[in-house]
Structure 1
Amino acid sequence: MPFARLARFCALVPITALLLTACGSGAPSDRAGDAAGAGVTLTNCGQRVHVPHPPRRAVALDQGSAEIMLSLGLADRMAGTGTWTDPVRPNLAKANAKVPRLAERYPSFEKVLDTEPDFAAASFGYTLGKGGVAPRASFEKLGVPTYLSPTDCADKDNSGDGDGVRTEALTMDTVYGEIRDLARIFDVRERGEKLVARLKSRVRKAASGADAEGVSVLYWFSDSKSPYMAGCCGAPGVITNALGVRNVFDDTHEEWPQINWETVVDRDPDVLVIGDLTRRSQSAESAAQKIRFLESDPATRNMKAVREKRYVLLKGQDLNPTIRTVDGVEKVAAALRAFGLTK
Structure 2
Amino acid sequence: MPLARPVRPAAALLLAGALLLTGCAGSSGKPGSSPGGASAGHPVTLDNCGRKVRVQRAPERAVSLNQGTTEIMLSLGLADRMAGTATWTDPVAKGLEKADAKVRRLADDAPSFEKVLDAEPDFVAASFASTLGTGGVATREQFEKLGVPTYLSPSDCVGKDNGGDGDGSRTEPLTMDAIYGEVTDLARIFGVEERGRALVAELRGRLDRATSGLDARGVTVLYWFANSQSPYLAGCCGAPGVITREAGAENAFADTHEEWPQVGWETVADRDPDVLVVGDLTRRQQTAETAAKKIAFLESDPVTRNMTAVRKKRYVLLSGQAMNPTIRTVEGVEKVAAALRAYGLAG
Q: TM above 0.5, one fold?
A: yes
Q: 1:319: Cα distance to partner? A: 0.2
Distance in structure 1 (CA, Å) of the matches to 2:41 and 2:107: 34
Sequence identity (%): 72
Amino acid at match of 2:197: E
1:31 corresponding residue in structure 2: none
Q: What displacement does 1:37 show?
A: 6.2
Verify: 1:305 aligned to 2:309, yes or no.
Answer: yes
3-state DSSP class of the match of 1:120?
strand
Q: CA deviation at 1:38?
A: 4.6
* Shift of residue 213, structure 1, vs aligned partner: 1.0
CA positional deviation for 1:110: 1.2
Is 1:247 paired with 2:251? yes
Structure 2 contact 281–291 (Cα < 8 Å) conserved: yes
Distance (Å, rounded) in 1 between the aligned partners of 2:67 and 2:40: 31
Say whether the 8 Å CA contact 1:265–1:303 is kept in structure 2: yes
Cross-structure match for 1:42 = 46
Match of 1:286 among 290, 301, 304: 290
From 219, 222, 225, the equivalent of 2:226 is 222
Aligned-partner Cα distance in 2 for 1:258–1:198: 35
Out of 60-69 and 278-287, give the one that drifted further.
278-287
The amino acid across from 1:170 in the alignment is L
Judged with a 3 Å threshold, the aligned counterparts in structure 2 of structure 1 residues 35 and 55 are, in CA distance, closer, same or farther, namely closer
Cα offsets for 1:176-235 (capped at 9, x unmatched): 000000000001101000000000000000001221111111001111111111000000
Q: Report the equivalent of 1:96.
A: 100
Query: How many matched pairs?
Result: 310
Tell me, what secondary structure is at the counterpart of 2:96?
helix
Separation of aligned partners in 1, 2:304 and 2:66 = 34
- From 49, 52, 55, the equivalent of 2:56 is 52
Residues 142-199 of structure 1: CA deviation (Å, up to 9, x unaligned): 0000000010000000111110010000000000000000000001101000000000
Asked if structure 1 preserves the Cα contact closer than 8 Å seen for 2:41 and 2:191, the reply is no
Q: Could you tell me whether the CA contact under 8 Å between 2:281 and 2:289 is conserved in 1?
A: yes
Does structure 1 residue 115 correspond to structure 2 residue 119? yes
1:210–1:336 CA contact under 8 A, matched in 2 = no
Question: What secondary structure is seen at the aligned counterpart in 2 of 1:302?
Answer: coil
Normalization by structure 1: what TM-score? 0.89
Deviation at residue 35 of structure 1 after TM alignment:
10
Who is 2:146 aligned against? 142
| Other-structure match for 1:211 | 215
Q: Distance in 1 between matches of 2:156 and 2:331?
A: 19
Measure, in 2, the Cα distance between the counterparts of 1:245 and 1:162. 26
**Structure 1: tracts of 5 or more residues without a match:** 1-33
- In the alignment, structure 1 residue 166 sits paired with structure 2 residue 166: no
User: Which residue, 203, 206, 219 being the options, matches 1:202?
Assistant: 206
* Counterparts of 2:337 and 2:312, CA distance in 1: 17
In structure 2, the residue matched to 1:30 is none
Question: Paired residue for 1:316?
Answer: 320
TM-score, with length taken from structure 2? 0.88
Aligned positions of 1:4-83 closer than 5 A: 38-83=42-87
How much does 1:130 deviate?
3.0
